[in-house]
Chain A
Amino acid sequence: GENVEQHPSTLSVQEGDSAVIKCTYSDSASNYFPWYKQELGKGPQLIIDIRSNVGEKKDQRIAVTLNKTAKHFSLHITETQPEDSAVYFCAATSGSQGNLIFGKGTKLSVKP
């Protein structure tokens, strides 16, 4: 089945700097790669996603890139703000049902 690896597990940046989180996946049939943000005490929320026929997608300060050949995708956050502090999860679809398999998460801390 699908295996999703996510790095780093923790990331600390200064406000205004950029943050990058990377994920790799194992199932070459995976075709959908969302990113979820989880704030303390809450459930995860979708922040951006990318489909396998697209190499890059951007939404204001966040962007996601996908390299299908290498089977890895990344989340880029520019001009980080304290409210970006949260746990971020990458995910990839698995199997014929298309259920999401999540990475183990990255705790991002943005220091003012």
Chain B
Amino acid sequence: DAGITQSPRHKVTETGTPVTLRCHQTENHRYMYWYRQDPGHGLRLIHYSYGVKDTDKGEVSDGYSVSRSKTEDFLLTLESATSSQTSVYFCASSSGQGVGGELFFGEGSRLTVL
């Protein structure tokens, strides 16, 4: 299994506070992703990265920003958390995209915004 870890695994915060979720991978994968998982919506892509300092928006990017200063780390930031951002966040990495680009997921970060 790819070594991909997320931190924190659980966080409770209040509306309006900034939150940063960290994803760390040890596989030297070029591509990294942040998804959110909500009941009735499945997995939705927030942002992705195709290399150091190279990022792009996914399906549901509003209210989120990302940064990738090193191959192994991909940060997801909620500048001002809202209750609608309560969710389980999954990071994933892959060596390629599309065909042949198996995603390796972390175990998720459960965020509750009160």
Chain A residues engaging chain B, CB cutoff 8 angstroms: 1, 6, 31-32, 34, 36, 41-46, 49, 51, 89, 93, 97-105
Evaluate contact between A101 and B59: CB separation under 8 angstroms. Answer: yes
Chain B residue contacts of A43, Cβ below 8 A: 90, 92, 105-108
Chain A residue contacts of B44, Cβ below 8 A: 102
Interface flags for B93-114 (1: CB within 8 Å of A; 0: not) read 0000111111101111000000
Evaluate contact between A32 and B106: CB separation under 8 angstroms. Answer: no
Please give the distance in Å from A77's CB to the nearest CB on chain B.
Answer: 19
Tally B residues with Cβ within 8 Å of A.
Answer: 26
* Residue among A49, A97, A100, A101 making CB contact with B50, cutoff 8 Å: A97
Please give the distance in Å from B99's CB to the nearest CB on chain A.
Answer: 4
Q: Which residue of B lies closest to A9 (CB)?
A: B40
Chain B residues engaging chain A, CB cutoff 8 angstroms: 33, 35, 40-45, 48, 50, 56, 58-59, 90, 92, 97-103, 105-108
Known: A93-B98, A98-B101. A104 touches B107 (CB 8 A): no
Bound together, the chains give a CA A102 to CA B48 distance in angstroms of 15
Chain A residue contacts of B100, Cβ below 8 A: 32
Please give the distance in Å from B60's CB to the nearest CB on chain A.
Answer: 12
Please give the distance in Å from A1's CB to the nearest CB on chain B.
Answer: 8
Evaluate contact between B41 and A104: CB separation under 8 angstroms. Answer: yes
Evaluate contact between A42 and B107: CB separation under 8 angstroms. Answer: yes
Bound together, the chains give a CA A6 to CA B43 distance in angstroms of 12
Bound together, the chains give a CA A43 to CA B23 distance in angstroms of 13
Evaluate contact between B42 and A89: CB separation under 8 angstroms. Answer: yes
Please give the distance in Å from A72's CB to the nearest CB on chain B.
Answer: 17
* Residue among B42, B43, B58, B99 making CB contact with A98, cutoff 8 Å: B99
Bound together, the chains give a CA A34 to CA B45 distance in angstroms of 16
